[in-house]
């Protein structure tokens, strides 16, 4: 198998501009399946834009992005088609007038009872089940965003602003679930954050961004485990 066939994402000469302002310019970047990546940079560094392009939410202005050795497909109107293997966790993309119960019923009808009992059965969390997202705090939205992310069971999971609005206990619980997804299912996980404080504890590769460019790439923690159930297509 050639090195290229092992890539889940291949990016070359990628550029994204809004009018005369270029917000992202990446020469070459590759992602391998079954790996946890950290995408680190301050506000305005291009992290969210890159994740949007990698999840087919936005088109690049120019350059190449391949997912599983193929370009993203477009419909008759030229709009990118969402890929069912990829989940981009960004609370701004959720319908703000819906509650988590409505979102769960729409997207995970078979899991709705389990989601409610697992996350919303007691304490202050119980009342959040029926409250529209636009009435929740940023921290509550971030928590719900993480719930939807780990329950969707994608091949590739992209999370924006990971852990920035969660307390230690919440973040630690989601971190365990994310690691389990990666370990047991081989899920490729890409987490964006303004700092590497949390992500460097469990990401295998850390990509630093600044002003729309990749400033450096560093090795993170090495995998000290073997997958016991590699039952997801890589």
Q: Which of 126, 58, 127 is nearest to 90 (CA)?
A: 58
Question: Looking at residue 225, what is its pLDDT?
Answer: 42
pLDDT tens-place string over residues 112-151: 999 999 889 887 888 899 999 999 988 888 888 888 888 8
DSSP string over 120-163: SSSGGGGGGGGSBGGGS-HHHHHHHHHHHHHHS--SEEEETTTT
Taking residues 84-91, what's their average pLDDT?
A: 87
- Residue 226, pLDDT above cutoff 60: no
* Percent above pLDDT 90 for the chain: 61
Question: Looking at residue 154, what is its pLDDT?
Answer: 92
The CA distances from residue 169 to 38, 39, 176, in Å, are 20, 22, 11
Question: Looking at residue 214, what is its pLDDT?
Answer: 97
pLDDT bracket for residue 1 (50, 70, 90): very low
- Residue 203, pLDDT above cutoff 70: yes
The highest-confidence range among 7-21, 111-125, 152-166, by mean pLDDT, is 7-21
Taking residues 31-43, what's their average pLDDT?
A: 97
pLDDT bracket for residue 231 (50, 70, 90): very low
Which stretches within the chain are classed as H helix? Answer: 47-54, 100-107, 112-119, 138-151, 168-180
Question: Looking at residue 2, what is its pLDDT?
Answer: 46
Question: Looking at residue 82, what is its pLDDT?
Answer: 84
Question: Looking at residue 48, what is its pLDDT?
Answer: 95
Mean pLDDT computed over every residue of the chain:
88
Question: Looking at residue 138, what is its pLDDT?
Answer: 87
Taking residues 195-221, what's their average pLDDT?
A: 95
Do residues 152 and 86 touch, judged by C-beta distance below 8 A?
A: no
């Amino acid at each position: 198998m050639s090195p290229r066939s092992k890539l889940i994402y291949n990016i070359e000469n990628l550029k994204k501009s809004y009018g005369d302002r270029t917000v992202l310019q990446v020469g070459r970047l590759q992602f391998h399946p079954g790996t946890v990546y950290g995408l680190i940079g301050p506000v305005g560094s291009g992290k969210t834009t890159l994740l949007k392009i990698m999840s087919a939410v936005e088109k690049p202005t120019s350059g190449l992005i391949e997912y599983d050795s193929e370009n993203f497909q477009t419909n008759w109107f030229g709009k990118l088609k969402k890929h069912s293997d990829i989940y981009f966790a960004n609370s701004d993309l959720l319908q703000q007038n819906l509650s988590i119960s409505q979102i769960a019923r729409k997207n995970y009808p078979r899991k709705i009872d389990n989601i409610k009992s697992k996350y919303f059965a007691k304490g202050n969390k119980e009342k959040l089940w029926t409250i529209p997202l636009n009435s929740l705090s940023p921290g509550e939205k971030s928590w719900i965003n993480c719930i939807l992310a780990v329950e969707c069971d994608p091949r590739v999971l992209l999370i924006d602003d990971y852990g920035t609005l969660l307390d230690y206990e919440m973040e630690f619980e989601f971190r365990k679930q994310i690691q389990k997804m990666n370990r047991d299912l081989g899920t490729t996980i890409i987490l964006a954050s303004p700092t590497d404080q949390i992500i460097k504890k469990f990401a295998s590769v850390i990509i630093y961004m600044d002003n729309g460019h990749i400033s450096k790439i560093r090795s993170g923690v090495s995998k000290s485990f073997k997958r016991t159930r590699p039952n997801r297509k890589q």
